[in-house]
A and B are shown apart, each in its own frame.
Chain A
Amino acid sequence: MSFDLALRLTEILLALALLQHSAEHMTRPEDRRLFAPRIALALLMLAGIATAWVTWALWGIGLLILRRFDGPYNGGSDKMTLLVLTCLACAHLPLDIYWRELALAYLAVQLALSYFVSGWIKVINPDWRSGIALSDVFRFSAYPVSVRLRRIADWRGATFAASWAVMGLELAFPLAVLHPLALAVALLACAVFHLSNACFFGLNRFVWAWFSAFPALLWLQARVV
């Protein structure tokens, strides 16, 4: 995958993520002043019009949104969206190609770290290794989308197996960068993981935010390995 193609794919996926996030805010009249311009700019980015300026304008609105909510509205997904936006904006700066590539490479590295670090802090916790932590997530955390889903907390075999499946995927993710096919399989598995989180825990924004960083890693893998 060429640098320009990776950049364009990132723009398209990020524009879709921003449209999805922003459309949800348009149901709140008090938020429309910030999110209506964001939708207009995301449509320009999707169409590939003046993407360098549009990306920086979206980045500026991202800062205003951070101030509006005194931090991220939606935790990790807002952080990833802003990270992708920042790297994309830097990759559009009129600099030597080395620095522009470095911006996209930083995004790729952060994507790999997002899985590995998340797996590492789980695997060093005895509650995650025994499956108790995932049971707790279902039993009393704010995330399960229905009362019935809380019953999964009592399926100890399932929470144990799911804990190790998630930790295994997250910890092994950086190794997948060593081969194109392994990376494709790993990204597919991660996509299933994000979709499951969206179904069970309502974390739909994470799906689109993380998808928008995938092209950067596919490009870096082809560029380096």
Chain B
Amino acid sequence: MLRTLSLLLPALIPSWRFFKTVAPSPRLWWRLEGGDWAPVRPRPERVAFATMLRRLVWNPDWNEDLYLVTLSERLVETGSAHSLHELNTRIARITGAPPGARLQFRLTFVTRSGATILTEELYRSDPVEVPG
């Protein structure tokens, strides 16, 4: 009950502090144990304007990507078990990792320091077996 209330209150009394600062931005990578790292759902080189318009009403994959960003931030900030479970489950589905394989992911964060763009790994998961 208290947990629900703590989740509800920011919606009823919002802070509306969008983009107060441009925070370090997570990138999500995956591999099957021992393999090469690859980005989870890499973004396209370009998106046609017609596609942008269509996505006004239908954009499930992108919105899931934004949820993955939120989960990544929660995992690094609080070590949330919920976020870890969600990331493992969703990455397995998105990448089509075969059942029984051992899946691992890592989080790198991109930020700017002066004129330099920095990338730092802040989390690497233990490999987990993809359920059948």
Contact = CB atoms under 8 A, between A and B. Distances in A.
Contacts of B67: 69, 73-74
Contact of B62 (A63, A69, A141, A202): A202
Nearest to A21: B63
Interface of B: 3-4, 7-8, 10-12, 14-22, 25-27, 43-47, 49, 52-53, 55-60, 62-67, 69-70, 74, 80, 82-83, 86, 89, 110-112, 117
A203 to B, nearest CB: 8
Contact of A142 (B20, B25, B55): B25
Contact of A74 (B56, B58, B66, B83): B66
A55 to B, nearest CB: 15
Contacts of A74: 63, 66-67
A195 B56 contact: yes
A22 B124 CA distance: 32
Given A141-B25, A147-B43, A204-B57, A122 B8 contact: no
A117 B17 contact: yes
Given A140-B110, A142-B26, A198 B69 contact: no
B63 A202 contact: yes
Contacts of B22: 127, 133, 136-137, 140-141
A113 to B, nearest CB: 6
Given A66-B4, A122-B20, 6 more contacts: A76-B14, A118-B16, A118-B17, A137-B22, A199-B53, A204-B59
A17 to B, nearest CB: 11
- Main secondary structure on A side of the interface with B: helix
22 contacts: A20-B57, A25-B60, A66-B4, A66-B8, A66-B11, A67-B7, A72-B70, A75-B70, A113-B14, A118-B19, A121-B20, A122-B20, A139-B117, A140-B110, A140-B117, A142-B66, A142-B69, A145-B47, A146-B47, A147-B44, A199-B49, A199-B53
A16 to B, nearest CB: 10
Contact of B58 (A24, A114, A137): A24
Nearest to A74: B63
Given A142-B25, A202-B62, A147 B46 contact: yes
A207 B25 CA distance: 23
A202 B66 contact: yes
Interface string A118-138: 100110010110000100110
A110 B57 contact: no
Contact of A117 (B15, B49, B80): B15
Nearest to B21: A125
Q: Which 7 A-B pairs have the closest CB atoms?
A: A24-B60, A136-B22, A82-B11, A117-B16, A202-B62, A199-B52, A79-B11
